[in-house]
Chains A and B, each alone.
Chain A
Amino acid sequence: MSEIAEQARKQKSSALWENLLRISMREAGVTVALVLIVLFFCATAPYFATSGNFLKIFVQIAINTVLAAGMTFVILTGGIDLSVGSVLALCTVVGATITTDERLSAGTSITLAFLACLGTGALCGAINGWVCEKWKLPSFIVTLGMLNIASGLARVVSNNSTISGLPQPFVEFGNLIFWGIFPSIFVIALAVVLIGWFILRFTVFGRFIFAIGTNEEAVRLSGHNPRAIKIAAFTISGLTAGIAAMVYLLRLNVGSPIAGIGYELNAIAAVIIGGTSLSGGKGSIIGTLVGACILQVLSTGLQLLGAEDNVKPIVIGTVIVLAVILDTYRNKFLRAMESRKGVQ
């Protein structure tokens, strides 16, 4: 009797251990890489291990983290969103136009700008998703179109100029620093990541996101409507572009039609380094956060080491490709572990 119970207990604990291993493997690899990179720069780069430097990194990381969080949803369903950079630009000029409107009180204008930023972003995202699904087009093309459209609209709205003179309370909030090291915009980014993590991990919607990325046809034939979920994923990506635009305004205090150029590629890089598969179905938003950190730490660290500006992109590019190569090994390892278990 006790022997059986003992066996069952052992089996249970080993199953638990393997589950933990499987869940954490996805993020563990990149997290270890991040820690190693940070330690390396702490040891070699002057001023890297100072609170001032970390504060700077946190400031610089915020926008990309928010964009990448939304991008994770889209990539998990097997799509891509190239439009987030210019949607961000559009949202900054919309937001800045409203906040600088002198007819409104500071409080009203900030609230309105907040809603308008998020609304504009979400609308752009929803259009992306709807067009993709309505005409069954590849998201690469549709969002490439949106990239140009939003960029053009940003110029129209802003009359081709940067908009400055944001209200004082707004600027002050952007400069706020908690506990001497966490800037307000980084806290916003963390909150977005946390909410995204919760949605993906604990909601029915999150389950659908993973299921669609794994096998969309199977989801459809299980009696669901994958198109609505995919449109929602794009809407979320647009929404986070709107939030990122608010972060941009908080940090730089200007709305600009040429903001956000190339941001989409940084966001995609963060998602991929974070271990999310470009073909969908696998990945995590915590990984995305770590991926965004790696990108920024590398950039800052290299700068402090005195690397030339031209060298930085070469290193970062190499790291992106390296991350994906390592990912294939990790997947092989996980599969081997599972198959060995499946045979028993």
Chain B
Amino acid sequence: MHGDELTRSRVDAAAHAETPLLKLQAVGKRFPGVVALRDVSFEIARGAGHVLLGENGAGKSTLINMLGGALQPDDGAIWFDGAPYRPASPLEAFKAGIRVVHQELNLLSNLSVAENLLFEQLPSRHGMVNFREMNRRAAELLAEVGLDVAPTTEVSRLGVAQMQLVEIAKALCHESKLLVLDEPTATLTVREVDRLFEILHRLKAKGVTTLYISHRLEEIYAVGDHVTVLRDGQHVTTRSLSGLGIPDIVELMVGRTIADQGEFSADIPVGGEALGVTGLKLTGDSPEMSFSVGKGEIVGIAGLVGSGRTEVVRALFGADPKAAGRIRIVGQEVDIASPRDAVAHGLCLATEDRKGQGLLLEMSCAENTTITDLAKISWRGLLQRKTEHAASRRLVKELRVKTPSIHQAVRTFSGGNQQKIVIAKWLFRGPKVLIFDEPTRGIDVGAKAEIYELLRKLATDGKGILVVSSDLPELMAICHRILVFSKGRIAGEVPRAEFDQHRILSFAFQEYGRVRDR
């Protein structure tokens, strides 16, 4: 090799090292009715341990899904490794060198570890899988991540931590340049977490860049050197982690505001107990929890995604089994083993998954509004369509559902109108306590305000209302009181007079910190 060629290639290498591995420029993403990301720009340096932080709904998942090729940005551009990056599918992302390890692992559980590791490029001879070669290469990869299992082990027999390591080994196998880890430690024990960090350090030494997402703030110092904070779909800052304390980070994450709702709920008088829960346990060894909701009271449940909010309300409603717990509705102790029992006692749940669990999408608006109480629109088992249509029209008018006709299939409705149909079907039943799980997710601002107004009206009518939401400012605007869940227990309870984002968030993070200390 000639001298000047050598110099040139050195210069190229130096320039190469200076260009960031990943660069986002004014990236935006909209979903019907919501802006998930707006004008986000930041860079990730080569070999960095980059941490991505933000509250629920700040846009982290959208960003990760874009990098992983599951979503495409509406605006802006992404550069990866010096070239424009716009993967149309996860496969393209993976070929470009970005590997995303999602929180829900994507392994083929009935295949062996080796088959999973080398699935995209099974070593073969004449179209037949070369098992010896496959297992040999898999063993190498497993050794690299320090996972001591035979390559022939079926994945379904591994623990969660081991599966996570298999996913990481998979990233190594394809020499990924960027490894994206979405809350990898959420389900790991302290020892497993230490092991994971050790491996991440080893990878870093080998030059692999990582983008790390976690709710456990204290652990990000162990894996990251830089941090990017998102808030409400917008970029807040990207900076070095050194000199940045946990309180500073929380400060950066909060501060989102919502249009002033005034004294939204404070003026609604709270009567006697509508819902009382004592000693509720989801499983035999989960913590006990007790709380109550008064008549006319709107109680919020805040907490991080995965903190057990949805699980608790589903168990209350009888949708999932519970291990123990007594439930009172308007002072009367009730036995709830199924949604049927719950509804019979006047307790109802508007689930977070409207389309999958709340609505009969292909059926009409009228049929959806009356499904909760067909006895009301029938006589000796025969449907009285006139009664049904009148009832449905009344609710559609009352809730201001925008539809040309009550015979329209609810599939064609917007998110806001679909949510109104879910509320309508419960109003048709006439419950005493209503639980809403993420009532405004994916709904545009105008419809959100209408939903809030409905909640207020229900409370004024003396119903007990429990609202689960990832949108903290929303809860602070509409609730009398907020229960903060952290890792399956109630970490704190904040009355309206003491509402404060910092306080609520520190409750939400509370249990996650403790686990590390143990």
A205 to B380, CA, bound (A): 11
Among the stretches B14-22, B240-248, B281-289, B335-343, the one at the interface with A is: B335-343
Among the stretches B141-149, B207-215, B356-364, the one at the interface with A is: B356-364
**Nearest-CB residue, chain B, relative to A12:** B405
Among the stretches A25-33, A38-46, A78-86, A334-342, the one at the interface with B is: A334-342
Tell whether A203 pairs with B407 under 8 Å between CB atoms, given A221-B351, A222-B371, A223-B343.
no
* Residues in A whose Cβ lies below 8 Å from that of B382: 202-204
Within 8 A of B (CB), among A167-219: 202-208, 210-211, 214-215, 217-219
CB distance from A7 to the nearest CB of B (A): 13
Among the stretches B129-137, B162-170, B221-229, B408-416, the one at the interface with A is: B408-416
A282 to B363, CA, bound (A): 9
Contact with B along A235-275 (1 / 0, CB 8 A): 00000000000000000000000000000000000000000
Q: Does B381 lie within 8 Å of A214, measured CB to CB?
A: no
* Residues in B whose Cβ lies below 8 Å from that of A208: 374
Instruction: Decide yes or no whether B344 CB sits under 8 A from chain A.
Output: yes
* Residues in B whose Cβ lies below 8 Å from that of A19: 407
Q: Does B372 lie within 8 Å of A341, measured CB to CB?
A: no
CB distance from B435 to the nearest CB of A (A): 11
Report how many residues on chain B are interfacial, defined by Cβ distance under 8 Å: 39
Q: Does A222 lie within 8 Å of B361, measured CB to CB?
A: no
Q: Does B404 lie within 8 Å of A223, measured CB to CB?
A: no
A145 to B413, CA, bound (A): 43
Instruction: Decide yes or no whether B349 CB sits under 8 A from chain A.
Output: yes
Q: Does B378 lie within 8 Å of A214, measured CB to CB?
A: no
Instruction: Decide yes or no whether B429 CB sits under 8 A from chain A.
Output: yes
Q: Does B319 lie within 8 Å of A223, measured CB to CB?
A: no
Contact with A along B311-338 (1 / 0, CB 8 A): 0000001010000000000000000001
* Residues in B whose Cβ lies below 8 Å from that of A202: 382-383
Instruction: Decide yes or no whether A344 CB sits under 8 A from chain B.
Output: yes
Q: Does B362 lie within 8 Å of A205, measured CB to CB?
A: no
CB distance from A25 to the nearest CB of B (A): 13
Which of B349, B361, B407 has a CB less than 8 Å from the CB of A221? B349
Tell whether A211 pairs with B367 under 8 Å between CB atoms, given A223-B344, A223-B429.
yes
Which of A15, A22, A205, A214 has a CB less than 8 Å from the CB of B360? A214
Q: Does B404 lie within 8 Å of A344, measured CB to CB?
A: yes
Instruction: Decide yes or no whether B348 CB sits under 8 A from chain A.
Output: yes
A319 to B343, CA, bound (A): 47
Report how many residues on chain A are interfacial, defined by Cβ distance under 8 Å: 30
Q: Does A223 lie within 8 Å of B339, measured CB to CB?
A: yes
Instruction: Decide yes or no whether B425 CB sits under 8 A from chain A.
Output: yes
**Nearest-CB residue, chain A, relative to B345:** A223
* Residues in A whose Cβ lies below 8 Å from that of B408: 338, 341-342
Q: Does A342 lie within 8 Å of B412, measured CB to CB?
A: yes
CB distance from B463 to the nearest CB of A (A): 17
Q: Does B378 lie within 8 Å of A204, measured CB to CB?
A: yes
Q: Does B360 lie within 8 Å of A223, measured CB to CB?
A: no
A211 to B407, CA, bound (A): 15
Q: Chain B: residues with CB nearer than 8 A to chain A?
A: 317, 319, 338-340, 342-344, 348-349, 351, 356-363, 367, 371-372, 374-375, 378, 381-383, 403-405, 407-409, 411-413, 425, 429
Give 18 pairs: A residue, B residue, CB < 8 Å, sorted on A: A15-B407, A203-B378, A204-B374, A204-B378, A204-B381, A204-B382, A207-B371, A207-B383, A211-B360, A211-B371, A214-B360, A214-B363, A218-B359, A222-B339, A222-B425, A223-B343, A223-B429, A341-B404
| Contacts A223-B348, A342-B403 known; 20 new A-B pairs at CB < 8 A | A15-B405, A19-B407, A204-B382, A205-B381, A207-B383, A211-B360, A215-B361, A217-B356, A218-B356, A218-B358, A218-B360, A218-B371, A221-B357, A223-B340, A224-B339, A224-B340, A225-B338, A225-B340, A341-B405, A342-B413
